[in-house]
Structure 1
Amino acid sequence: MTDSTDGADAARAGSTAEPATGAKGPDELRRQIERTRRQLGDTVEELAGKADVKGRAKTRAADLRDKAGAATVQLRSSAAHAGHGARGRAHRAGGAARERAPGPVTEGEVRSGRRPPPPVLVAGAVAGAAVAAGVLRRRHGPHPHH
């Protein structure tokens, strides 16, 4: 069996065997040594990069932090948008409740015997509006504090 690889192929393949054809003088030998050193240096750099678990973990953690930060911004934006909508609906519901609620009792109403609705009804309407706002807020996520 004959080895048909030259010195460069043997060095690239990581072989420690001597090349089939020797160097043809000291200059050729120096060139082969230099080429082998460069290839060995490249191989050592690749292996060091693969063995640098701490460095790879830091890079991965930084990537995950960036993704989490972007997701947080997006979630806050969505929550703020939902909060503004819920606040608007609650404001409109409160305005409608105020329009329907009776005004202060006048002296004429007291003389005529007409009574305003019991405070329990007014309190119930306000509590209902608050419950509706709470349900809407839960459906759309918590409102972020600014």
Structure 2
Amino acid sequence: MTDATSGGTPPEAGGAKAGGAKGPDELRRQIEQTRHQLGDTVEQLAAKADVKGRARARAADLRDKAGAMTVQLRSSAVHAGQAVQSELRRPSSRPMLAAGAAGAAAVVAAEMWMRRHEGR
């Protein structure tokens, strides 16, 4: 409850505002805490305003991700190459691989021929 005659200050607060300082030492502590909070806020705002710095950080993140993706793709390519080599060593798979390669070459050749003759 608030006392209308004392400007809205609760009587149990002893005349001090709720959450206010209870003495000079408490006031100094609150001022120091507020200064730290203000400093943190200013640093955060400065970081948001640093567009070049943020762009550099984002570019570094993307470079790291691209590097990791490259390593992963190279590893996958090595595994695929090893799988193909092991299949080529098996005599029963050679005719199937040859037929597949011939079919793929025919598709590529047909596609190239169609693109060349498309404009005529």
User: TM-score interval w.r.t. the shorter chain?
Assistant: 0.3 to 0.5
Q: Which has the bigger relative contact order, CA under 8 A and spacing at least 6?
A: 1
* TM-score normalised by L of structure 2: 0.47
TM-score by length of 1: 0.41
